[in-house]
């Protein structure tokens, strides 16, 4: 009976040591809740929702004035039995999240567009919902073909200032990414 108690005690201690590690790994994950393609006047636009929580290190960094970059990647491929998959579309979009202490606002910038938000929660809501992002032109897809669409989001440390890139490589707190979400996309015969 003492061997069983010793075994259970070791198991409980091991579980107690491993559990925080698992919780930390879960906290550094972006989940793709849903992703779809919607027709627009030029072709198709991506509509995707992501879910994640910034850990304390990332929140502290943003509040100290270090910008964070969130990059959404989209790929469209077509399977071929005789060769490698055909890569039809590969695009990426980055959003810069920064804090302006003088105005006490969080700012999002992408391309030439800048938006201000009173709270970090409000700014993150916009980052987590990618919509009306034109990704596929009508001319690059063939009606009737079956394509695989893939989307993911990650904290892009390569776009950060150089001193922080070095820290991000060695620090698990700076790793925030999703797995690829894949779904089938078929162009309607009457789409052209």
DSSP structure class, residue 65: T
CA torsion angle for 97, 99, 104, 108 (degrees, to 10)?
Answer: -20
Quote the pTM value: 0.79
Rounded CA separation 104/119 (Å): 9
Return the pLDDT at 162. 67
| Residue extents of the structural domains in the chain | 2-55+68-96+125-161+175-186
Q: pLDDT, tens digit, for every residue of 14-38?
A: 444 444 433 334 456 999 999 999 9
End-to-end CA distance of the chain: 75
Provide block-wise average pLDDT over 10 residues at a time, the chain (192 residues): 50 44 54 95 95 93 92 93 83 96 94 93 96 93 93 89 62 85 86 51
CATH for 2-55+68-96+125-161+175-186, among 3.40.50.300, 3.30.43.10, 3.40.50.10540, 2.60.40.10?
A: 2.60.40.10
Rounded CA separation 21/129 (Å): 28
Q: pLDDT, tens digit, for every residue of 117-137?
A: 999 999 999 999 999 899 999
Return the pLDDT at 25. 41
Per the listing, tokens 């892009």 go with 156
Q: In what order do the strands lie in the sheet with 105-110?
A: 113-117, 105-110, 86-100, 68-78, 146-155, 181-186
Q: Please check whether residue 49 is in contact with residue 129, taking contact to mean a CB–CB distance below 8 angstroms.
A: yes
């Amino acid at each position: 009976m003492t061997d069983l108690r010793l075994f259970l005690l070791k198991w409980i201690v091991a579980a107690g040591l491993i559990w925080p590690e698992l919780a930390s790994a879960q906290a550094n994950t972006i989940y793709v809740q849903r992703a779809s393609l919607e027709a627009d006047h030029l072709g198709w636009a991506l509509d995707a929702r992501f879910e994640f929580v910034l850990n304390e290190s990332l929140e502290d960094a943003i509040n100290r004035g270090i910008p964070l970059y969130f990059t959404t990647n989209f790929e469209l491929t077509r399977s071929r039995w005789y060769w490698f998959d055909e890569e039809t579309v590969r695009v990426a979009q980055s959003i810069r999240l920064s804090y302006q202490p003088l105005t006490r606002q969080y700012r999002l910038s992408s391309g030439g567009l800048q938006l201000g938000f009173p709270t970090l929660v409000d700014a993150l809501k916009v980052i987590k919902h990618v919509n009306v992002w034109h990704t596929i032109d009508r001319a690059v897809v063939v009606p009737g073909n079956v394509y695989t669409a893939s989307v993911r989001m990650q904290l892009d440390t390569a776009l950060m200032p150089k001193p922080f890139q070095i820290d991000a490589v060695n620090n698990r707190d700076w790793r925030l990414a999703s797995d690829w979400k894949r779904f089938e996309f078929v162009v309607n015969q009457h789409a052209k």
